[in-house]
Amino acid sequence: MPLVGIVGASGYAGAELLRLVLGHPDLDLAWATADTQAGVAVGRLYPNLAAAAPGLRFTTYDPALAEGLDLVFLALPHGASAALVPELAKRVGAVVDLAADFRLRDPTAYEQWYGEVHSAPDLLAGFAYGLPELFRPALVGATAVAVPGCYPTAAALGLTPLVRAGVIETTGVIVDAASGVSGAGRPPKAGNAFCAVDEDFRAYGLLDHRHTPEIEQATGASVLFTPHLVPMNRGILATCYARPRQSTSTAEVLALLVDTYRGEPFVVVGEESPSTKATAGSNCAHLTARVDPRTGWVVVLCALDNLGKGAAGQALQCANLALGLDEGAGLSVAGVLP
């Protein structure tokens, strides 16, 4: 049975990944690191994991821990993974990184959008982009995977099939998306405190959000991306607007999405407007589309759980592919309601 480790398991995405790995039928967890929480019982920091991880404590990361493991997940803040991967890759069978460190193909894009020079640009080409429904062939047996961001996942699932089919123009595309507060991470910040987000709805990262180049890379379109913060724990709803290249209809666009994702257990295409709550706790994305003959816009909507299909769930889906396991093992297609 493959043996895996998790680096950075105390953040929200890391803890969700820890929950999924602990319930996986075909993986054994060797350790979970969290330098700021080293020595703390997992069940104390996350009581929801107390029964699943009795006796498990967070440990301090040491590269030697990875020696001989089949796979290591990295659930760290941006910039931290790039410092670890060169040494880690020598010791472990595969690396699955949830951060943005290896998502972009162009190293100069990190200077423009992240404000720093990439510390390991020679490794970028070796990472497969971890969105299985759109880039699966590169993920089968991969030794290095860069898991997409939550916003790019939602945008790409909606737009990329339309770009590939030549249905929409690749310029003037608008992605208007809203995310739950867990997307900001577990460490407290003034902007995500209860009193700051409750009864509030606001846009941020205007014109320069760092997920913009990733969305453009994944979709093949030039995009104006505006994210919003909404007072909910988890979830993303992306509303994407594009101009059609030729006359089309709602029925035709929906049929294209249905055909694209036929047989994909984690993508639901339907006529109803997707709901973030319907995806909570699952690895599913829900999609719909409309063509407005009055204004000429094609509108595609995608809802998903930013900690599930937008982070930890997708990371595990990629790990299954990399390790030759059932792609859906350990992942739920059912959301949690109410």
What pLDDT band is residue 194 in, cutting at 50, 70 and 90? confident
Architecture of the domain whose range is 150-306: 2-Layer Sandwich (3.30)
Q: Across the chain, what does the average pLDDT equal?
A: 96
Which has the closest alpha carbon to 242: 262, 225, 264, 230? Answer: 225
Q: What is the pLDDT of residue 184?
A: 77
Q: Is the pLDDT of residue 78 over 80?
A: yes
Pairing of strands 267-269, 144-146: unpaired
What pLDDT, on the 0 to 100 scale, is given for residue 197?
85
* Mean pLDDT in residue range 241-267: 98
CA quadruple 87, 90, 93, 97: dihedral, nearest 10: 20
pLDDT over 80 at 213, yes or no: yes
Q: Where are the domains of the chain?
A: 3-148+309-323, 150-306
Reading phi first (left if > 0) and then psi (alpha if -120 to 50, else beta), residue 293 is in alpha
Sheet strand arrangement including 173-179 = 202-203, 223-229, 173-179, 236-242, 298-304, 285-291, 267-269
Q: What is the pLDDT of residue 322?
A: 98
Considering only residues 25 and 189, tell me which one the structure prediction assigns the higher pLDDT.
25
Give the pLDDT of residue 193.
80
- Reported as a single tens digit per residue, the pLDDT across 160-191 is 999 999 999 999 999 999 999 888 777 777 77
- Distance (Å, rounded) from C-alpha 85 to C-alpha 83? 6
Average pLDDT over every residue of 329-333? 97
pLDDT over threshold 90, residue 195:
no
Work out the average pLDDT over 31-36.
Answer: 94
The CATH number, out of the four listed (3.40.50.720, 1.10.357.10, 3.40.50.300, 3.40.190.10), of the domain defined by the range 3-148+309-323:
3.40.50.720
Phi, psi of 41 (to 5 degrees): -65, 135
Give the residue numbers marked as catalytic.
150
Instruction: Please tell me the predicted confidence (pLDDT) of residue 19.
Output: 98
Neighbouring residues of 5: CB distance < 8 A, sequence distance ≥ 6 = 29, 30, 31, 32, 33, 65, 66, 69, 71, 72, 73, 92
pLDDT band at 206 (very low <50, low <70, confident <90, very high): very high
pLDDT tens readout for residues 260-309: 999 999 999 999 999 999 999 999 999 999 999 999 999 999 999 999 99
